[in-house]
């Protein structure tokens, strides 16, 4: 039986996190190691960033980039594509690199949408893909979530017709942290018209613990109309370096690359990405740190009898019982940044998972701003 999450277990989490931080970042000063803490700035729980940062091999790769800073990425692009192709068991011509996975989403919009076409997405979900679609003058069709805050895949499939160029599924979804299961995804892929590209955003893939989850890379392998976007921003802690990628058929990858900015990656980001992929411990280590702290947060929210959405990502949405909009400034006054308001869920606050110390500070602030009886 798992040990119950208590203040003592939180203290152990704090110690473990501190140990990782010291081991992982020997080349960085204390200020660079934790830029969100203390006098250098507020606690950042607003952007779903990884507070532990890159692994040590990635930092070593970054430290060695001074001599190539004057050079374009060149052959390192091919090295990175080859490493990702080996990881996913595909050809290098099926990999598209981007300046973060949001750049990959933009390329998909540019490649597969045009004026008069439609894009189908959940409401709410990550807004970038819909924002980029406006540039192509495509029509956005938003499908509300189910009562349990999950993608309504049957309704989304029904909304796809001959004019639909893209259907976007964020799995796990941002901001709810909920997933669609492997069987649900398989049924969905079979119902969507072959002419419509299914854009699967798996930015939070590595944090999922639900055994029913399956990546679209497995479910839809061999299908011509599926594009999967991944990122180094979350589990690999490289949000500031901006490196993402897409996996697609060779034809779709080529169509997306035609919409890419010239040299849209950097020597440093690519070398850090290669080093991260070679570190077999980084994913399980980061997942354990983040998900253990998420479990501690659940226990504290349960203790207060607060309503929240169980998440499979590095953030949690909780019902604060009133409009989230004004709360941002109240948290900021206490040195904490929290997530933005999502108009279709105005009473739900999204908070990213930080270090154990940061989450303890968040709970103290939450109890002061929104007492448990007010949120119940």
- At 178-227, the pLDDT tens digits run 999 999 999 999 999 999 999 999 999 999 999 999 999 999 888 999 99
For strand 336-338 and strand 43-45, is the pairing parallel, antiparallel, or unpaired?
Answer: parallel
> Can you tell me the mean pLDDT for 147-156?
98
pLDDT digits (tens, 9 = 90+) for 83-136: 999 999 999 999 999 999 999 999 999 999 999 999 999 999 999 999 999 999
> Can you tell me the mean pLDDT for 164-187?
98
Token reading at 329? 């400034």
Residue 168 has pLDDT above 90, yes or no: yes
Find tokens 């998972």 and name the residue.
353
Could you tell me the CA-to-CA distances from 212 to 186, 201, 223, 239 in Å, in that order?
12, 17, 21, 28
Residue 164 has pLDDT above 60, yes or no: yes
Cis previous bond, 327, omega within 30: no
Find tokens 């119950």 and name the residue.
4
**Range name among 20-34, 113-127, 222-236 with the lowest pLDDT average:** 20-34
Residue 32 has pLDDT above 80, yes or no: no
Q: Is 16 left (phi over 0), alpha (psi -120 to 50) or beta?
A: alpha
User: Which of these CATH numbers, 3.90.1150.10, 3.30.360.10, 3.90.180.10, 3.40.50.300, describes 7-55+281-375?
Assistant: 3.90.1150.10
Residue 8 has pLDDT above 70, yes or no: no
pLDDT digits (tens, 9 = 90+) for 129-150: 999 999 999 999 999 999 999 9
* β partners of residue 344: none
pLDDT at 41: 86
Would you say how long the chain is, in residues?
Answer: 376
Q: What is the CATH number of domain 61-278?
A: 3.40.640.10
Residue 10 has pLDDT above 70, yes or no: no
Do residues 107 and 96 touch, judged by C-beta distance below 8 A? Answer: yes
Residues 178, 181, 186, 189, Cα dihedral to 10°? 0
pLDDT at 29: 31
Could you list the beta-strand ranges (E) of the chain: 43-45, 95-98, 118-123, 139-144, 164-170, 197-201, 226-231, 244-247, 308-309, 315-319, 336-338, 348-352
Q: What pTM was computed for the model?
A: 0.89
Query: What distance in Å separates the CA atoms of residue 300 and residue 318, rounded to the nearest whole number?
Result: 12
Could you tell me the CA-to-CA distances from 285 to 16, 21, 88, 187 in Å, in that order?
11, 12, 21, 33
3-state secondary structure 65-77: CHHHCCCCCCHHH
Residue 324 has pLDDT above 60, yes or no: yes
What's the DSSP call for residue 283? H
> Can you tell me the mean pLDDT for 67-91?
95
Residue 296 has pLDDT above 90, yes or no: yes
Query: What distance in Å separates the CA atoms of residue 31 and residue 22, rounded to the nearest whole number?
Result: 12
What residues does each domain of the chain span?
7-55+281-375, 61-278
Query: What distance in Å separates the CA atoms of residue 354 and residue 50, rounded to the nearest whole number?
Result: 7
What's the DSSP call for residue 305? T
Burial label for 23, CB within 10 Å (0-12, 13-18, 19+), is: exposed
Could you tell me the CA-to-CA distances from 271 to 69, 277, 281, 375 in Å, in that order?
12, 10, 18, 46
Q: 55 φ, ψ to 5°?
A: -75, 165
> Can you tell me the mean pLDDT for 45-68?
96
Residues 353, 359, 362, 364, Cα dihedral to 10°? 160
Query: What distance in Å separates the CA atoms of residue 42 and residue 336, rounded to the nearest whole number?
Result: 5
Query: What distance in Å separates the CA atoms of residue 205 and residue 184, rounded to the nearest whole number?
Result: 16
């Amino acid at each position: 039986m798992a040990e119950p999450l208590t203040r003592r277990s939180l203290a152990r989490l704090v110690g473990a996190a501190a140990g990782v931080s010291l081991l992982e970042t020997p080349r960085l000063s204390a200020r660079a190691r934790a830029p969100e803490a203390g006098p250098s700035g507020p606690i950042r729980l607003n952007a779903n960033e990884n507070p532990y940062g890159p692994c040590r091999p990635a930092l070593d790769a970054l430290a060695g980039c001074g001599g190539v800073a004057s050079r374009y990425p060149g052959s390192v692009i091919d090295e990175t594509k080859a490493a990702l192709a080996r990881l996913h068991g595909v050809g290098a011509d099926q990999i598209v690199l981007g300046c973060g996975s949001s750049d990959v989403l933009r390329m998909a919009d540019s490649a597969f949408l045009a004026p008069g076409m439609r894009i189908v997405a959940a409401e709410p979900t990550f807004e970038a893909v819909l924002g980029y679609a406006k540039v192509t003058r495509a029509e956005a069709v938003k499908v509300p979530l189910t009562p349990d805050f999950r993608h309504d895949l049957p309704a989304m499939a029904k909304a796809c017709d001959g004019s639909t160029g893209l259907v976007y599924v964020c799995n796990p979804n941002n901001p709810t942290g909920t997933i669609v299961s492997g069987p649900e995804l398989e049924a969905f892929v079979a119902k969507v018209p072959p002419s419509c590209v299914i854009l699967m955003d798996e930015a939070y893939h590595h944090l999922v613990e639900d055994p029913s989850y399956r990546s679209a890379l497995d479910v839809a392998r061999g299908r011509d109309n599926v594009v999967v976007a991944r990122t180094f921003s979350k589990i690999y802690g490289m949000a500031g370096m901006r490196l993402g990628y897409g996996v697609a058929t060779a034809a779709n990858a080529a169509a997306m690359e035609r919409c890419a900015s010239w040299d849209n990656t950097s020597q440093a980001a690519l070398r850090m990405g290669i080093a991260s992929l070679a570190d077999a411990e980084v994913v399980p280590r980061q997942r354990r740190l983040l998900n253990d702290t998420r479990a501690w947060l659940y226990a504290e929210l349960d203790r207060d009898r607060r309503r929240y959405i169980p998440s499979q990502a590095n953030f949690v949405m909780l019902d604060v019982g009133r409009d989230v909009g004004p709360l941002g400034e109240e948290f900021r006054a206490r040195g904490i940044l929290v997530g933005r308001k999502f108009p279709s869920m105005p009473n739900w606050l999204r908070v990213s998972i930080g270090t154990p110390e940061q989450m303890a500070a968040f709970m103290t602030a939450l109890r002061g701003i929104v007492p448990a009886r007010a949120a119940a």
